[in-house]
Amino acid sequence: MLSKLTSRWWLLLVPVLFAAHVAEEAPGYVRWFNAIVPGQPIPEAGFLAAQLTPFLAAAFLGLAAAVTGSRWAGLILMLWCSHFLFANAIYHLVASVVLLTFSPGLVTGTIFYLPFFWWLTGWVRARGVALWVVVLLVFFASLPALLQTYMVVFERRRFY
């Protein structure tokens, strides 16, 4: 019982992991992106400001899931994390391997996002959600970000 009660407080790590990832990306991600994708460069000035809304969503969803421990709160958090954590980690991994360059965000994406996401899907499954449902939801929630990965890494074009 105690392990079930305390395990849900790990969900409060979501905004912490997100902030750590942004801190890794902030010094060089925009410069890196502009170097690999030709055309109109994205401005560096608004990078941190653009992270505020996803950070607040991470904090709210992580807190809601931790406080309630409910299956629905966990599913919603998992959907959000599928896009912002899981697919983002895949983006940095694929970009670094295919482009043979270090993608700022690779370290936190790999050592924080992937293990936490694996744990989160297990936490959701422990609340009675079937594996096929988790796989389907993760696939569809991460698909837009995975398509962005393809466009940036393989076509060298922007997604916005």
pLDDT of residue 159: 77
Q: Report the alpha-carbon distance of residue 17 to residue 62 in Å, rounded.
A: 11
Model confidence over 13-68: pLDDT tens digits? 999 999 999 999 999 999 999 999 999 899 999 999 999 999 999 999 999 999 99
122-137 in b/e form (b: 16+ CB < 10 A) is: ebbeeeebeeeebeeb
Place 7 in a pLDDT band, splitting at 50, 70 and 90.
confident
Q: Where are the domains of the chain?
A: 2-154
Determine which helix (DSSP H) or strand (DSSP E) holds 72, and give its type and residue range.
helix 71-81
Q: What percent of the chain stands above pLDDT 70?
A: 96
Q: Which fold has domain 2-154?
A: de novo design (two linked rop proteins) (1.20.1440)
Residues with Cβ within 8 Å of 133's Cβ and at least 6 positions away in sequence, in order, are none
Q: What is the pTM of this model?
A: 0.93
